[in-house]
Amino acid sequence: MKKFICSKDCIEACFAYVDGLSIIPENRENTGRFVCSKLGKFLQREVFSSDLSFINVNGKQEHPDLQEIIKSIASYISVNKDKNILFIRGSGSLGYMMNYWDLLFSHFPNIYFVDGSLCLETGESAHIKDFGVYVNPPVENLSEVDNIVLFGRDAHNVSPHLYSYLKKLKNDGKKIIYIDPILRKTVRISDRYIRIKPASDNFLAAAIIKNLSLDDIPYDLNYLIEKCNVSENDLSYLVDTFKNGKTGIITGYGLQRYKNGENIVRWINRLAYFTNNLNYLYYVRSSKAGLPKPDIKNPTINISEILSYLNKGFFHGGIIVASNPLISYPSSKKLEELLKKLTFLLVVDTNKTETAEIATHFIKVHGMFAQEDISGSYFYDNRLHKRDKVFDKLSDIDVIKAISKELEVNIDIKFPPIPEKKEYETRKYKTNSLQLLENKSEGLRLISGSHYSYLNSQRFGDFVENFIYISPIDAQKYNLTDEEVVNISNENGTIKGKVKISEMCDEGYLFCYKCQDLIEGHPNILTTYTPTDSFTGIALYDTFVQLEKQKYHQ
């Protein structure tokens, strides 16, 4: 029986033991003994799928032995040191050992790394600017509060252990308030749900601060309320909440996926500071805090510039590790067209994904189940733990060693010692003044989000809620009935799906589950490479579309 810690991108770092095909959860303080239903699917998908490594020869996938594939990869890198190569490394397994991919390619100055990501960097930038660090206080601090406000944090779908802990806290008498433009299942544990206009949480935070007379906000209160579209009754409820008790604030990751995402997170930080709740403010912490980072000096391009660099033919080849950008990256149809033009495209992943299908070289690895590693949690501060190599199958480290040997590159691969746990130090707020950045709607907005049954691009093929959700008001405006087929489109393309008329949405925006196929296409065909205000992320939720009713569909 092997000790296991899940390092997928929830990331809650679930503890378990693996015995053959059995996953045995370890008891976790506050949330009990369970792992999410996805973990068993990951085991089957990563360890026991029938996908094979290949080289694409004249449009045909051939399956030579691994050493021949490695030699072909090394030959391309060696011969083309004067050609620019794009390197994209996704989250995949968020364990520490994935850093050795970066270290391998750091030996080649023609390989360009990507600065920024689709994940959490915009919110992290907000915390660095306000506090100099991005850390979470001990999760146990939530037991001290009277109220917990979830700003866009849909714990039910994205943080199952946090959701379990919130249920326990609610049973202990904590009041939970859930604020989100999309009515999600987290409402089940909420004492009050407050619908807010997308990308306007900064205006709501400013309105609360102004109402409490805690800072000189140079805007009329009615103006702030109008911008976030929250009722006066809901605002009064929030003001009373912050006035009459300690209040935990948990910030969702989706808030930083707008053009003003950093500004939104910073105003929530400001609210926590002025209401004396910094010890109860949670966003994210590093899952590898305290571990050494590789010193990388390669040239970089910003994530928002990937499409433009590919479009002008800047890159001769590409390397994609633990990422499926044809599903998870913006403008994915255009991205596919450009990646197909590369002379060389290596994809390393646990499965033959959509991106792997267009690769010149594909290596199947077996993910977190095949790799000894170390990882912690994005949310919980006290969980940095070692994981055993559960199955004796090909791992990322095995491939890194093989490629480095063929390239005659010396990499000292070693398992780092687990750092001692540091006591949490209260963050010090250092921002004197902060402007409010408005995000103006440019039409019908498309928002996408996660579902409990899968994570990001890790699709399992049994998803049934693949609808385009629309509000009753907009359904009436477009003369739609439930499950009618529509096209939604913009300059990036068109996708087709059935609408579901639902109170999940309000007027002016649609919702889809991200990365999931509709009748034709998926949401990221329509998203763009618009940068966030930190210039470290992508404003995925600033996607605006036209909707057209499909007259005939079979």
How large is the angle between the packed helices 201-211 and 221-228, nearest 10 degrees? Answer: 150
Residues 6+ apart with CB under 8 A from 154: 180, 182, 184, 185, 186, 252, 254, 449, 450
Rounded Cα gap, residues 285 and 253, in angstroms = 12
Report yes or no on 435 lying in a domain: no
- Residue 92 pLDDT grade (very low, low, confident, very high; cuts 50, 70, 90): low
Locate 14 and state its tokens: 């679930």
Q: Are 521 and 496 in contact (CB under 8 A)?
A: yes
Rounded Cα gap, residues 1 and 222, in angstroms = 61
pLDDT at residue number 18: 83
How large is the angle between the packed helices 201-211 and 232-243, nearest 10 degrees? Answer: 60
Q: Using DSSP bridges, classify how beta strands 85-89 and 60-62 pair: parallel, antiparallel or unpaired.
A: unpaired
Residues 6+ apart with CB under 8 A from 16: 4, 5, 6, 23, 24, 25, 26, 35, 39
Nearest Cα residue to 126 out of 431, 549, 550, 453: 431
Residues 190 and 177 in one domain: yes
pLDDT at residue number 383: 65
Report yes or no on 403 lying in a domain: yes
Amino acid identity of residue 505, one-letter, is C
Query: Minimum mean pLDDT among 66-80, 126-140, 182-196: which range?
Result: 126-140
Pick the last residue of a domain from 254, 282, 310: 282
Asked if the model's pLDDT at residue 39 lies above 90, the reply is: no
Rounded Cα gap, residues 348 and 543, in angstroms = 30
Asked if the model's pLDDT at residue 554 lies above 60, the reply is: no
Locate 226 and state its tokens: 């109008």
Residues 131 and 278 in one domain: yes
Report yes or no on 316 lying in a domain: yes
Rounded Cα gap, residues 220 and 186, in angstroms = 32
pLDDT tens digits for range 452-469: 776 655 665 666 778 999
Residues 307 and 220 in one domain: no
Asked if the model's pLDDT at residue 478 lies above 80, the reply is: yes
pLDDT tens digits for range 206-232: 999 999 999 999 999 999 999 999 999
pLDDT tens digits for range 379-414: 776 667 888 898 999 999 999 999 999 999 999 998
pLDDT at residue number 306: 97
pLDDT at residue number 49: 87
Mean pLDDT for the stretch of residues 271-292: 90
Q: What percent of the chain has pLDDT over 70?
A: 95
Report yes or no on 301 lying in a domain: yes
In which domain, by residue range, is 12 found?
Answer: 2-42
Report yes or no on 413 lying in a domain: no
Output the pTM of the full model. Answer: 0.94
Residues 206 and 251 in one domain: yes
Residues 251 and 303 in one domain: no
Query: Minimum mean pLDDT among 273-277, 318-322, 329-333, 464-468: which range?
Result: 464-468
pLDDT tens digits for range 46-65: 888 899 999 999 999 999 99
Locate 305 and state its tokens: 């510039």
pLDDT at residue number 455: 62
For residue 362, the cross-strand partners are: 54, 347
Locate 497 and state its tokens: 């799906």
Residues 364 and 335 in one domain: yes
Residues 196 and 271 in one domain: yes
Report yes or no on 420 lying in a domain: no
Nearest Cα residue to 370 out of 30, 7, 47, 38: 47
pLDDT at residue number 322: 92
How many structural domains comprise the chain? 4
Report yes or no on 363 lying in a domain: yes
Residues 84 and 194 in one domain: no
Task: List the CATH number of the domain containing 349.
Answer: 3.40.50.740
pLDDT tens digits for range 114-146: 999 988 899 999 999 999 998 889 889 999 999
Rounded Cα gap, residues 234 and 207, in angstroms = 11
Average pLDDT, the chain: 91
Tokens 């990646």, residue? Answer: 339
Residues 316 and 364 in one domain: yes
Task: List the CATH number of the domain containing 501.
Answer: 2.40.40.20
Locate 315 and state its tokens: 């890159």
pLDDT at residue number 361: 98
Residues 205 and 155 in one domain: yes
pLDDT at residue number 10: 66
Pick the last residue of a domain from 226, 255, 282: 282
Residues 173 and 58 in one domain: no
Report yes or no on 437 lying in a domain: no
Task: List the CATH number of the domain containing 148.
Answer: 3.40.228.10
Residues 156 and 276 in one domain: yes
Residue 363: asked if its preceding bond is cis (omega within 30°), the reply is: no
